[in-house]
Amino acid sequence: MALEEYQRKRDFARTPEPAPAAGKGHRRPIFVVQEHHATRLHYDFRLEHAGVLKSWAVPKGPSLDPAEKRLAVRVEDHPVDYGDFEGLIPEGEYGAGAVRLWDRGTWWPDGDVDASLSKGTASFRLEGSKLRGGGRLVRLRARGRGEGKNWLLIKRRDEAARSADWEGVTEERPESVASGRAIDAIAEAPQRDWQSERAT
């Protein structure tokens, strides 16, 4: 199981994030984008594959503009259950801050996922509420620190693409795809989410 790093970084007695579990997986693999108000705001872009969520932290978030190549830093695999997580990671814990489920849907890889990721170029199609159509992840050449972890997330030119003369999808559509909540409401009501998640 590729979740050792995920486990090592977190104390599941303190964080409401899901503990690592054998990924049941979905019939159609999901993608999620989580807006994460950690020390630095970023958007976590996750693709379900082989029982885990392959994950990248995107500081500026995804764009629908093919000219906007967004840095995407590869981070540790997350459990599939993380795709349902929205809430507050408490102060003092890894990644402390509010997490909003910004988008969710299904994804279709072009070709073999493992081969594409090891080759460093993976193209795909997304069908979410906010992100749709084609896109790709391209690994940047390693240069010293952060070696091999830096990728670019790029929208394909297709009918779902948008040009630069607008605000950007993260500004235009900030609401939670799961709850419709604003980020302040998520940060202020963490206990309720935690208890309801644990109760089910």
The site for Mn ion (CB under 5 A) is made up of 36, 44
Instruction: Please report how close the Cβ of residue 71 comes to Mn ion at its closest, in angstroms.
Output: 14
Taking the least distance from each CB to Mn ion, the nearer of 44 and 65 is 44
Instruction: Please report how close the Cβ of residue 157 comes to Mn ion at its closest, in angstroms.
Output: 29
Q: Where are the beta strands (DSSP E) in 38-183?
A: 41-49, 52-58, 70-79, 87-89, 97-109, 121-128, 132-139, 150-155
| Residue 59: HSE in the Cβ half-sphere, 13 Å Cα cutoff | 8
- The CB-nearest residue to Mn ion is 36
Single-letter amino acid code for the residue at 151: W
Taking the least distance from each CB to Mn ion, the nearer of 36 and 139 is 36
Taking the least distance from each CB to Mn ion, the nearer of 36 and 100 is 36
Residue 37 forms beta bridges with which residues?
41, 98
Taking the least distance from each CB to Mn ion, the nearer of 6 and 107 is 6
The whole-angstrom separation of Cα 55 and Cα 78 is 7
Instruction: Please report how close the Cβ of residue 99 comes to Mn ion at its closest, in angstroms.
Output: 7
Instruction: Please report how close the Cβ of residue 38 comes to Mn ion at its closest, in angstroms.
Output: 6
Q: Among candidates 73, 50, 49, which has minimal Cα distance to 61?
A: 73
Instruction: Please report how close the Cβ of residue 45 comes to Mn ion at its closest, in angstroms.
Output: 10
Dihedral class, residue 137 (left if φ above 0, else alpha if ψ from -120 to 50, else beta): beta
Taking the least distance from each CB to Mn ion, the nearer of 36 and 181 is 36
3-state helix, strand, coil in the chain (%, to 5): 20, 35, 45
Q: Quote the radius of gyration of the chain (alpha carbons, Å).
A: 16
